[in-house]
Structure 1
Amino acid sequence: MNSEHIIPLALGGSNAFCLGVDKDFNARVGSSIDGVLANDFLTSMRRREFDARGHSNTPPTVLLRKSTLGDEQRPIQVTLRGKEEPLVWDAMDKRYLDPDEVSGNKISSQFKIDIHVRKRFLAKVALSAGYFIYGDLFRSHVRHNELRALMNFSASTTRDSFAGFGLRGYDEFSPIEEADAQQKELDSFFCQLINGSCVIAGLGPQNVVFVVGVLGKWIGTLNVPAVTESFPVEREHDLGHVVVLRDGGMTRMSYRQLAADAYGILNQERG
């Protein structure tokens, strides 16, 4: 066994938000899910903005390998490291260009986005955070087999793998149904307001809803079938439960408290 960061440090996690898991499983998930998302271009830019460092404590680096410079489309590689000035590597001359050689020229870059990794990350976080928040109630009353199936999703997965599932959700690339648009905007607002990473867990009569934010941005929402009549609904679970991760620390509160804090901030801004 070793300790799994439910949201990894490189994505704004905390050493306080961890679970003990199988060591080999943790290594596979860390590489195939957490690592892929952390190195995703859009996420890397947010890591750079927040200076979100992993276990190595090195400044986040954004690397754009497929880039070109100027109208002649000279092949280059662009490196954005921490708050430093961009480094431009000329692939033909095999040297870094001086700033005056780059200034005034157009830089074009290409990058790939894994369209499945956010869904897989949502499932992984919901599995771990669900047990962290609710313990054995989550183990015995939630259809976590559906989360496992989503976590193991790949391009070769067939629809039959999800036959009969009640799992529903969105990530930041999913089209949002009109009935859910207002709630998605509220979730996005809360993630932005927290200005860190977070997991928000809410209860319905037959489901648990997990909202996940990474470095001030809503990543997605999963609605997981469950029998919730025995789940806690008072004090820090009033209207739901929130785990806030900021500056390496963790704070837990009720959804009602989060909403009240947001209301107070909005009133301050207006007044």
Structure 2
Amino acid sequence: MHSEPRKIVTANSLMDIRPDVRLYTRFQSDQELPDPGDFQMFKMIVELNGCSCVLIIPGKNCFGVVVGVLGEFMGMINIPADTTGFPNEGDYNLGHCIFLQSGKVKRMSFRHVALKLSDYLEGKNENDTTELELQIP
């Protein structure tokens, strides 16, 4: 439903947006946001990488797009969609992620990013840095 993002851009109020289109931005107050656990993992991925990124994650009857700029979570939009034809293997396993990190474009699956985040949180990262360094599998 590619018309939905256009409606969001041109909406005068978030109340004008369909209820099944979920939008979370860094500019919303805590009262306007749903349970932070709904998107906390995405926010951590953006902030720990310290770079710009776009994550595209298909779900059941929708897909989410997460955007980060220079390590700052800008927001997430979840748009209704028929995702049955979306690829779900290799670089697209559970979704597709694009990072601009260390002067390079890095593309990988969301599964790879989630596993790297898990290792990082468990203290298994090989670097001694505060950023989550993603390596292309």
Work out whether 1:167 is the aligned partner of 2:21.
yes
Q: TM-score, normalised to structure 2's length?
A: 0.77
Task: Determine which structure has the larger helix proportion and give its number.
Answer: 1
Give the C-alpha shift of residue 159 in structure 1.
7.6
For 2:129, the equivalent position in structure 1 comes to none
Matches within 5 A, 1:100-249: 143-153=1-11, 157=12, 162=17, 164=18, 166-174=20-28, 175-178=32-35, 181-249=36-104
Q: For residue 184 of structure 1, report the CA deviation from its aligned partner.
A: 2.1
Q: Per-residue CA shift, 1:36-77, capped at 9, x if unaligned? A: xxxxxxxxxxxxxxxxxxxxxxxxxxxxxxxxxxxxxxxxxx
The structure with the larger Rg is 1
- 3-state DSSP class of the match of 2:124? helix
User: Is the Cα–Cα contact under 8 Å of residues 8 and 14 in structure 2 kept in the other structure?
Assistant: no
Q: Is the 8 A contact 1:202 1:241 kept in 2?
A: yes
Please state whether the residue corresponding to 1:268 is helix, strand or coil. coil
Return the alpha-carbon distance in structure 1 between the equivalents of residues 46 and 24 of structure 2.
Answer: 15
Q: Gapped runs of 5+ residues in structure 2?
A: 126-137
The answer to whether the aligner puts 1:259 opposite 2:117 as a matched pair is no
Instruction: Give, as a single letter, the amino acid of the residue that structure 2 aligns with 1:149.
Output: K
Q: CA RMSD in A?
A: 2.1
- Structure 2: how far apart are the matches of 1:263 and 1:183? 17
Deviating above 6 A after TM superposition, structure 1's stretches of 4 or more consecutive aligned residues are none
Normalising by structure 1, we get a TM-score of 0.41
Aligned residues with identical type, % of pairs: 30
| Aligned partner letter, 1:193 | L
- 1:264 Cα offset (Å): 2.3
Aligned residues: 121
List gaps (5 residues or longer) in structure 1. 1-142
| Superposition map of 1:36-55 within 5 A | none
Give SS of 2:85's match.
Answer: coil
Q: Distance in 1 between matches of 2:15 and 2:74?
A: 26
